[in-house]
Amino acid sequence: MSDISSRPLAGYRILDMTTFLSGPFCTQVLADMGADVVKVEAPGGDSSRVIPPHFVGEDSAYYLANNRNKRSLAIDMKSPEGLTLVRRLIGEVDVVVENFRPGVPARLGLDVEQIRAEQPRLIWASISGFGQTGSMRDKPAYDMIVQALSGVMSLTGEPNRPSVRLGIPAGDTVAGLYTAIAINAALADRERCGEGRVVDVSMLDCQLAMLSYQSAYALIAGATPSHQGARHDSIPTYRSFIAGDDRELVITANTERMWQGLCRGLGHSELIDDPRFSDGGRRLENCKALWAILEPAFRQRAATEWVETLSTEGVPVALIKTVPEALEDARTSGRDMILPLEDADGHHIEVVGNPVKFANADGHLARYPPELGRNAAEVLGEWLDMPVAEVEAMHANGVLREGRPA
């Protein structure tokens, strides 16, 4: 584990009042970069702690995947003492991150504008399904809801088959990433102008932004992109194939040099001079005829043989790995992408690491996700100079909670 002081966000304090996935994913990114992230949970804990089917101790694998390098407080914010405690903690932080429904913080007694009037340097970041403004602001949203409404699901799946959700929770994680980017930008802006910002991130907006060229095809050309399957709308040699051993592989031959290497590697050099396939436009126009040649060609050899042959020809090619296979590759990649974690009770887990690497920050931060409310004494002592006896009294009267999630 590296020295946290070598991380770019070392010294910044972040109050994490988020649950489930979009917010915890965001604050984990910030924690990996060295920020002191304290997770404030309701007495029953973040609802993701109890998502089945996999558990380590009292906490779900789902929770453990998104909460490393943080500390936890469990506070009854519905009590006057709990709300006062949260307000005091907000007074000691650089950033608050929350993913309540719009309007909920104010109903709890946390009016953003009032708080920022008292703390103009505070950055307040809100993640919600549809944003703090607009006609849909009060509607509930989850990952698949925004995948559906954004058009992402209409692109996902095989042609002439029902739409499917992405196999990863992109609606949540992309919103978390955009929020982390915005927070870093707001911190940089605060260094320049001395004031914080209010950040408003909508999960739906993030999915629309991720449509990339598909949105341009619709807006500029009036097209209605449909299910992509394992193919590309513009490049017919950018897709998956099934090899002779029934293993799937993908090729991304998207330049003329790669196209020619593909033809040679498959033993179909005659296609290079075939007028039907003379350039990208012609190959797209005649894609069905091209696939009628390529698909049986790939069936002639095993997938690993094609990977070796086509790599030699300079064609980008890869096997479609299962999740366990991909993780095993990551273990030996030399990139610290599989991190071992151990908690005070002796639980051992592995998680996927931080993909962002910084020079002069050797090693990695790898603190086990916190047990519910475990860090009350240390956090309140450090941030508020609160005596241990006062912390114990708060535990006794139910303002603070520690232990098993509900």
* Tokens standing for residue 386: 């609160």
What is the C-alpha to C-alpha distance for residues 62 and 8, in angstroms, rounded to an integer? 27
Of 59, 172, 200, 343, the active-site residue reads 172
Q: Give, as one character, the DSSP assignment of residue 48.
A: G
What is the C-alpha to C-alpha distance for residues 124 and 115, in angstroms, rounded to an integer? 10
What is the C-alpha to C-alpha distance for residues 296 and 305, in angstroms, rounded to an integer? 15
Annotation marks residue 3 as catalytic: no
Strand order in the sheet with 238-242: 238-242, 248-252, 317-319
Q: State the CB neighbour count (10 A cutoff) for residue 37.
A: 30
Q: State the CB neighbour count (10 A cutoff) for residue 298.
A: 19
What is the C-alpha to C-alpha distance for residues 234 and 250, in angstroms, rounded to an integer? 16
What is the C-alpha to C-alpha distance for residues 296 and 325, in angstroms, rounded to an integer? 27
Q: Give, as one character, the DSSP assignment of residue 365.
A: -
Asked whether the beta carbons of 347 and 368 are under 8 A apart, the reply is yes
* Tokens standing for residue 215: 């949105």
* Tokens standing for residue 189: 């802006």
Q: Could you list the active site residues?
A: 172
